[in-house]
Amino acid sequence: MEEVMRASFSSGSVVAFVIIATLSYLWIFRWRQRHRIEPKEWPIIGGALETIQHFDVMHDWILSYFNKGLKTFHVKYPGITYTYTIDPNNIEYILKTNFANFPKGELYHRHMETLLGDGIFNSDGEAWRQQRKTASFEFTSRVLRDYSTVVFRENALKVGDILSSVCQKHQPIDMQDLFMRFTLEGICKVGFGVEIGTLSESLPAVPFATNFDNANEAVTYRFFDPFWPLKQMFNIGNEAVLSRSVKVVDDFTYKVIKIRRAEMDLATSEGHDKKADLLSRFILLGKDPEQNFTDKTLRDVILNFIIAGRDTTAATLSWFVYLLSIYPHVADKIYDELHALEKDANINASQTLNQKMREYSSILSYDVLTKVQYLHAAITETIRLYPAVPQDPKGILADDVLPDGTVLKKGGLVSYVPYAQGRAKVIWGDDAESFRPERWIKDGVFIPLSPFRFSAFQAGPRICLGKDSAYLQMKMVTALLCRFFKFDLMPGHQVKYRTMATLAMENGVKMFVTRR
């Protein structure tokens, strides 16, 4: 009996000890979590729970931790650690000083491959260098610049005509949808030599655009969902949406390639000059047996330049008109600057609005658009607050230490965060979240800042090739629109971003447009 009692007591002691130890661990763990200024970490899942809970407001969730005084912090996930930073010295180290140690990386490539394949924004090494070399040649070409100016002007006038009609109907219009059409038409014409008719006045449905956005969101979700390979296997959830969306995107893209190849073959047979658009350059490059370019290679090229030439620029333009509706005094200052250009245009009061826009657009040359300093500052200020790429993750090839002492482990991801950096008071002052174009102007002249402090266009070897082209396109359309129209947000319309690779709006931006 004594032995049974001793055994029973011993077992009870073990159970009691386990319970007490477990409760003590949980109490200590909770106490530590309560006093953390970084995201909470749980056993096994790390910070995945908190991240998924805040997925729809991801960029502001990250910003909230920087607002606590952090310039760099970690978030652990099952099998990987993400490091976020807004420190300009760290960003310079990542993008320039030790560039070789921070490629896109295997993890990023695997997550984005379904949509972006092996294109320039999802590749490293020789594949990246070859695509960048070809694209760099085109973007520095005066011929392409002059051609782009003409195309952007024509498309801006189409947007103006649509808004002229909207004014007469007194109906709201989704400006994000309109800008997405504008930039898609632009990149398809300048980049690939084809017109797709998205800016006709009937505003036809664009299945490609809708499905491209859905695919973009789905691949972004992969970064925070450890179960996505399983969902992909069974074709469920976000992965089912991705599969359906990519099918539509691919059908459109391969059609563009087929049309462009046929046009080039016809031009060659008739002895005409070959076009110099980006797709043509890559098609010609692919005829070299050593390159072995397939239609899949060209498909990847197209989709990568569409996400750069359509999504980023359209997102900036959408946030720009949204901000003008909140800060009408900025819109008035832009109007004054643009109205001063009219002395060189043949505009008279008897002309219709459409005629006036055509006369005015004729003076919007590349050289004239370089002189509108306040408009340039207002666009840049928009990008500071709403960068087209809100965060940019890089792989880590080898263990490293950032300039601020943060330790990085091989195989993880480190992201610099333009969205949070642009709103950080420690970098921009107490009015960091205010829209104030004047912060970029000194003695009437736009003053650029270090790309490591204003990192929206990257820096170093991967600095954005299309920056000047993007500004040209944005200034062309905003100069026309801000001269002739005013924008007011539709009452009750909620504006918020959609969490994906680019900072597009979840519900668009519905505006009432009136003539100036």
List pLDDT tens digits, range 368-381. Answer: 999 999 999 999 99
Q: Is 188 annotated as a binding residue?
A: no
Residues 404, 87 contacting (CB under 8 angstroms): yes
Q: Predicted confidence band at 1 (pLDDT cuts at 50, 70, 90)?
A: low
Span 333-368, pLDDT tens digits: 999 999 999 877 778 878 899 999 999 999 999 999
Fold entry, domain 37-101+390-434: 3.30.43
pLDDT for 88 equals 97
Is residue 135 predicted with pLDDT exceeding 90? no
Q: Predicted confidence band at 202 (pLDDT cuts at 50, 70, 90)?
A: confident
Residues 344, 363 contacting (CB under 8 angstroms): yes
Is residue 294 predicted with pLDDT exceeding 70? yes
Residues 47, 40 contacting (CB under 8 angstroms): yes
Residues 84, 62 contacting (CB under 8 angstroms): yes
Residue 353 or 131, more confident:
353
- DSSP secondary structure of 416-439: E-HHHHHT-HHHH-TTTTS--GGG
Q: What is the mean pLDDT of residues 423-443?
A: 95
pLDDT for 373 equals 97
- Give the CA angle between residues 66, 72, 74 to the nearest 5°: 100
Q: What is the mean pLDDT of residues 147-153?
A: 92
Catalogue the long-range contacts made by 285-292 (C-beta closer than 8 Å, 24 or more residues apart): 285/134, 291/130
Is residue 6 predicted with pLDDT exceeding 70? no
Max distance between CA atoms of the chain, in angstroms, equals 114
Q: Predicted confidence band at 245 (pLDDT cuts at 50, 70, 90)?
A: very high
Mean pLDDT estimate for the chain? 88
Task: Give the integer Cα–Cα distance in Å for 148 and 277.
Answer: 10
Which has the closest alpha carbon to 318: 434, 181, 457, 438?
181
Residues 335, 483 contacting (CB under 8 angstroms): yes
Span 76-110, pLDDT tens digits: 888 889 999 999 999 999 999 999 999 988 888 89
Beta strands 407-408 and 400-401 are antiparallel
pLDDT for 104 equals 87
